[in-house]
Each structure stands twice: as C-alpha cells, then as structure tokens.
C-alpha cells in the first residue's frame, strides 16, 4: 500500500489547561514558520477574544508546520467537555494524537474523555508529559496513571505500546528522559517521534475523489467554508463536484477556491490530494459530515456521529422595564437570525421554536457551551433574557433517565468533610478518594448533572478558594427522585423602579447580602440581594432619608456599606431559580423574577403550593 511520506496529520488532545495551545506555539516557532522579526502573541492559536480572556480553546483550530521536508498538519482541540462536538469530528481527520498530560495533575476528567474518543477511532497515540519543570511534578507516576487509563478504556496492544516524551512547553524543551535536568534545548525529539510513530496517510490519489467536511467556517466574501480531509482521489479548483447531503439528496457545485494551511495562515492552492487537510469554498449549503465526490461516482463516507446536547435553556426577547435601552439588536427576528447563524458552525447546538414567537429552547453540551454563546451575542450588541439551565431527560428502555457526570475535586485535607457533605446533598456517589501525601486529597464522584448546576461557587466558598473542580459527561442513568441541588436561600426583590440609595441599602443590609451599589437603577421585580432565610422578600432599596432642618451628628457621608456581591454571566445562570430570568444586555447582567408584579407573584406561588 502506497503512503504519502511527505505528510502527517495529528490532533493535540488534553484536559483543559494542560498546555496544548502553548505546545502548538512552540512547534510553530521551532519549525521556522515565522520570520525572525515577526511578532507572535502567546497562545497564537486562540484567536477569539473570549478564548484569550479565559485562557481556554473553544473552537478547534488547524495549522501546519514543515519539518525535514514533511508537512505536519496539527489540529488544536478544546479541552472542555462542553466543546466535545469539535473534538469528536477532529478524530476523523487525523491518523494520530498527542495526548498532553500535566506532570503534576495527571489524568483528569477530560483527559479520559478525549482519550476515549481517540481510542474509539483506533488512532496512534504519543503521550506528552508537559510541565515537567513544575513544583511537585511526578512524571513517572503520571505515566503509570496514563497506562491504567489506556487499559481501563480497552486500548489495543499497539495503542498500549505508546511512546512518551517529557517536555516543558513554556520553555520549549523536550526529552525522552523524565529527569527535568536532562531536557534538550529544543523540541526536536517530539518532532522526530511524530515522524517515526504517526502513520503516514494512504496515497490513493488515482481513485475517485472522497472528501468529508468536519469543521465549518464562514467568510462574508466567499460564504460558507467547509474544512475537511481528502480521504481519496484529487480535488482541483474549477471542477464540478457533487455533495452527498445528510438527508440523502445530492447537490452539485463548482470548487471556486481551495486553501491549505501553513503556520497561522491559509494558503490558496489549486489542487489537493489524498491525505491533505483543506478548506473549500463555493458551496452555500454544506454541513458537517457531508461528502464531496465526483458527479459520476457518488459514494458517501459514513456520517459523523455527534454527541447529543445534555442541557437546555429558554432564550427570550427582553421584556423588562429597561428593555431596549442598551442593546442594538432587541427584536425576536434579529435574535432568531443570530441563533440560526450559530447553527451554521456549531453542530452541538440545537435551537427549537416554542408556542411563543418571542422565545426559543436552546440546547447545548453544558453551562459553559451555552454561556459562551450568550456572552458572544451580548458583545455583538444583542439584548435578551435566559432561563435557568435544565438537564435534558431521555427515555431509555422504558425508564426516564438523566445525565450523570464524573466529577474530580482536588482539595486541601481540612475541607474534605465539607465537600463530601455538599456533594451528598446533591446526590453524588463517591467512586474514589486518594491522598497524595502533600496535604491534598483527590475525590472522584458520579453526580447527576442537575446537581452540579451552581456547584462551582459553593465549592469555592467551602474550600476558601482552594478547591479545584473538573467534570465531564459520563452516561445516562435512571432519574433520581426528589430535589437535587438548587439554591437554599431566598432573594431580596426590589419593590419599585428607581435608583438604589445608600440609605435604602443600609435599611436592608441586615436581611442578607446586597447585589447592587448605590446609584444603580433598579425596577420592581428585579433581584437586588440574597435573603438570610429560605423565603423571598420584597424590599424598598430606593428609600431615601427624609430631610429635616435638624443637623445630625452622623451625616449620610459617614455611612459605610458593605461591598456588594457581583455576578459574572455564568454565576448568574447558576444562581437563578426556576421562577427567575437573567436579563443580558451589552452593558448589564441583571437577575429578575419572571413575574415582576408582587401580588401576582405571591398569588401564583400560593396556587403552586396548593397543587
């Protein structure tokens, strides 16, 4: 069988924050792709603003480096399970993976998830133990953990015989020796291992064309761009080809432009052969998983399976008293258009219409997945309201089932009791507990997904900020009865529309924690604080002190109020209850009751209780 020795296709997979994107940076720099005087920012592959701010990869990216006359196509994948749709499809494009594992943290939930996907596709792995220079690094133990994980995930004999490279991506050094003092000055050993161990693609360019689209991009000049791999044959610019649609129909189009990848740039090319990763434009209506082939030889590749969403929430047109003040796009038509545009590139997302023209049910892979979409829309000038996230239930073998997640928590020893108690309340089942002997304990649980909504904030409070929490979807199991998780305390709700005053805040401070500062505009039904008790109460936070002509020894200027608690978008989504919304505008994030009117709200609550 003829192979193309001039090319290798690899994906870099890892748990979030184990150093994938930094490793790609070094491979790009050391391959001589950039000019000596060219400025390259850190994490060059994370091009999106949100990715740079949060230090995470959201969208899979592809690049290529040249090493010893071999072109190495590299796909940098997201580490968060919420973006697993991207990871799965990338596995179809490559022949091998670099599994990056932190030399201190070892195997984490997403390490398990991404490795499982790679092994299912029978890809050749290379294990890269990163951050070898880190304090308390334990490279040999981590390699043993990785081997155990391979065995647990039913890796075959060839996969179990994986090569290991130890490196420090931040310093650009690597070696095959676990001793940090014996690191080579560069990453040549990693490049050589890729050429030696990763299989070269089959060269069947004489056969009829087959290319499958795995990622989508959009450009306002050329429209939709399909990114994928040529599995066999040759594709040329200008030729007429057929697209085998997912619904069984066939459409024809002309290949107008084709791009290859080198460094961070797309390079226009005229021809692509079997094994090449390319971006193709010219087809307005192409989707992930569809096959491009010759008109006279139509043969589709198996469609790509994409994991179903596990979480849903309702997106609504903003109808609060402050609607339309801060946003540029506020109408139902504009919001619906934007959600449909997102469906062009995000295959893990679902958008369903409801009985109301002003609301849509949006389903995704997790809280982070949906909050990234909301944050992106907000930055683009959209104004909307969203409901509390809910898990998606499924009927399996006649039983109602709910999603469960594998949760890994690293915490100092003194907080273990509090963590166990908190996850017990959320119906968590402990699988494992290990002590690393340095005062840190790792706890592994299986917890229903609905029990994890809002848990991150609680864990940080319980562990005084020292707890590290990671989770990934495990499987669907029969639904547990009763209430799981949820907010324990009630909220303070504003009685009227106006401006929060120092005096008004001071009058209600002893009732709980305040969320707004003096001078903040509020409206009746808006949530302005958390009550000390379980019930909600209505408060007048706009109250002002009646002026008298008697001089006071303690003037208002000397009044000191506590710093209000502020919420990020994710924290607000986790915090709200079923009868509340988060109002999202380009400038503000507010929490409110669904029913703003106090008497109507109380009447509805009484009616619900009676039922």
Q: Using one digit for the tens of pLDDT, what is the confidence trace for 568-607?
A: 898 899 889 999 999 999 999 999 999 999 999 999 988 8
Dihedral (Cα; 178, 181, 184, 185), 10-degree rounding:
140
Is 403 a domain residue?
Answer: yes
Give the separation between CA 365 and CA 443, rounded to whole angstroms: 24
Range from 72-81, 223-232, 311-320 that averages highest in pLDDT: 311-320
Clarify whether residues 606 and 507 are in a common domain: yes
Is 286 a domain residue?
Answer: yes
Q: Is 131 annotated as a binding residue?
A: yes
**Domain with 412 in it: what CATH number?**
3.30.70.240
pLDDT at 348: 81
Average pLDDT of the chain is: 85
Q: Is 482 annotated as a binding residue?
A: no
- Label residue 608 exposed, middle or buried (CB < 10 Å: 0-12, 13-18, 19+): exposed
Is 304 a domain residue?
Answer: no
- Cβ 112 vs Cβ 406: under 8 Å: yes
Give the separation between CA 332 and CA 436, rounded to whole angstroms: 54
Give the separation between CA 98 and CA 588, rounded to whole angstroms: 41
Q: Using one digit for the tens of pLDDT, what is the confidence trace for 323-352?
A: 999 999 999 999 999 998 888 777 788 999
Clarify whether residues 362 and 398 are in a common domain: no
Task: Name the nearest CA neighbour of 214 among 302, 322, 134.
Answer: 302
Dihedral (Cα; 480, 364, 475, 398), 10-degree rounding:
60
Q: Is 132 annotated as a binding residue?
A: yes
Clarify whether residues 29 and 176 are in a common domain: yes
Helix (H) or strand (E) segment spanning residue 158? helix 157-160
Tokens of 123: 């890809």
Clarify whether residues 159 and 240 are in a common domain: no
Is 301 a domain residue?
Answer: no
Clarify whether residues 42 and 162 are in a common domain: yes
The parent domain of residue 501 ranges over 491-546+561-578+595-610
Task: With cut-offs at 50, 70 and 90, classify the pLDDT of residue 169.
Answer: confident
Is 585 a domain residue?
Answer: no
Domain count, the chain: 5
Q: Helix, strand or coil for residue 182?
A: helix
Clarify whether residues 473 and 495 are in a common domain: no
Final residue belonging to a domain, choices 227, 262, 293: 293
Q: Is 20 annotated as a binding residue?
A: yes
The sign of the torsion formed by the CA atoms of 491, 496, 497, 500 equals: negative
Neighbours of 402 (CB within 10 A): 19
Phi, psi of 102 (to 5 degrees): -70, 130
Is 485 a domain residue?
Answer: no
Final residue belonging to a domain, choices 293, 326, 349: 293
Clarify whether residues 539 and 508 are in a common domain: yes
**Domain with 260 in it: what CATH number?**
2.40.30.10
State how beta strands 96-102 and 124-130 pair: parallel
Check whether 129 has a pLDDT greater than 90. yes
Clarify whether residues 332 and 379 are in a common domain: yes
Clarify whether residues 458 and 506 are in a common domain: no
Instruction: Quickly list DSSP for 349-392.
Output: -EEEE-SSTTEEEEEESSHHHHHHHHHHHHHTTB-EEEE--EEP
Final residue belonging to a domain, choices 197, 230, 245: 197
Clarify whether residues 418 and 332 are in a common domain: no
Clarify whether residues 315 and 405 are in a common domain: no
Mean pLDDT (whole number) for 437-456: 86
Which pTM was predicted?
Answer: 0.80
**Domain with 190 in it: what CATH number?**
3.40.50.300
The sign of the torsion formed by the CA atoms of 603, 609, 610, 611 equals: positive
Clarify whether residues 419 and 378 are in a common domain: no
């Amino acid at each position: 069988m003829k192979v193309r020795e001039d090319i290798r296709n690899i994906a870099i997979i890892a748990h979030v924050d184990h150093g994938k994107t930094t490793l790609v940076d070094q491979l790009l720099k050391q391959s001589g792709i950039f000019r000596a005087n060219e400025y390259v920012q850190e994490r060059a592959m994370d091009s999106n603003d949100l990715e740079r701010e949060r230090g995470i990869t959201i969208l899979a990216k592809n690049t290529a480096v040249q090493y010893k006359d071999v072109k190495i196509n590299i796909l940098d994948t997201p580490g968060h399970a919420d973006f697993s749709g991207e990871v799965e499809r990338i596995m179809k494009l490559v022949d091998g993976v670099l599994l990056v594992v932190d030399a201190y943290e070892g195997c984490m939930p997403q390490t398990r998830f991404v490795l499982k996907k790679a092994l299912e596709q029978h890809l050749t792995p290379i294990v890269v133990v990163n951050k070898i220079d880190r304090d308390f690094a334990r490279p040999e133990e981590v390699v043993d953990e990785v081997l155990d994980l391979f065995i647990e995930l039913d890796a075959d004999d060839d996969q179990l015989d994986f090569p290991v490279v130890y490196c420090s991506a931040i310093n650009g050094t690597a070696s095959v020796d676990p001793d940090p003092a014996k690191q080579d000055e560069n990453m040549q050993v990693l490049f050589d291992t890729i050429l030696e161990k990763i299989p070269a693609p089959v060269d069947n360019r004489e056969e009829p064309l087959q290319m499958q689209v795995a990622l989508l991009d959009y450009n306002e000049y050329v429209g939709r761009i399909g990114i994928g791999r040529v599995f066999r044959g040759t594709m040329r610019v200008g030729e007429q080809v057929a697209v085998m649609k997912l619904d069984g129909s066939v459409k024809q189009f002309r290949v107008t432009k084709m791009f290859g990848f080198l460094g961070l740039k797309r390079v226009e090319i005229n021809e692509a052969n079997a094994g090449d990763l390319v971006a193709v434009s010219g087809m307005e209506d192409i989707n992930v998983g569809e096959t491009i082939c010759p008109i006279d030889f139509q043969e589709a590749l198996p469609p790509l399976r994409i994991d179903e969403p596990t979480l849903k929430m309702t997106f609504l047109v903003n109808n609060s008293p402050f609607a339309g003040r801060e946003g540029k796009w506020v109408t139902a038509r504009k919001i619906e258009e934007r959600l449909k545009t997102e469906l062009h590139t995000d295959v893990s997302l679902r958008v369903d219409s409801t009985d109301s023209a002003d609301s849509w049910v949006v389903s995704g892979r997790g809280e982070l997945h949906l909050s990234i979409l909301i944050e992106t829309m907000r930055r683009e000038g959209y104004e909307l309201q969203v409901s509390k996230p809910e898990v998606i239930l499924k009927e399996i073998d006649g039983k109602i089932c709910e999603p469960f997640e594998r949760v890994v928590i690293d915490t100092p020893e003194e907080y273990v009791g509090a963590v166990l108690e908190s996850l017990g309340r959320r119906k968590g089942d402990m699988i494992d507990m290990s002590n690393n002997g340095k005062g840190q304990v790792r706890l592994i649980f299986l917890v229903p997904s609905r029990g994890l909504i809002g848990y991150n904030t609680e864990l940080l409070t319980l562990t005084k900020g020292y707890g590290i929490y990671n989770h990934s979807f495990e499987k669907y199991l029969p639904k547990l009865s009763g209430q799981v998780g949820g907010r324990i305390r009630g909220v303070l709700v504003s009685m009227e529309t106006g401006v929060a005053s120092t005096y008004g805040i001071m009058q209600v401070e002893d009732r709980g924690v305040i969320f707004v500062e003096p001078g903040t505009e509020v409206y009746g039904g808006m949530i302005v604080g958390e009550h000390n008790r379980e019930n909600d109460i209505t408060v007048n936070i706009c109250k002002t002190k009646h002026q008298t002509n008697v001089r006071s020894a303690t003037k208002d200027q000397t009044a000191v109020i506590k710093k209000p608690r502020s919420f990020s978008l994710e924290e607000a989504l986790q915090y709200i209850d079923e009868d509340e919304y988060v109002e999202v505008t380009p400038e503000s994030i507010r929490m409110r009751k669904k029913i703003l009117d106090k008497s109507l709200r109380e009447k509805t609550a009484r009616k619900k209780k009676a039922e």
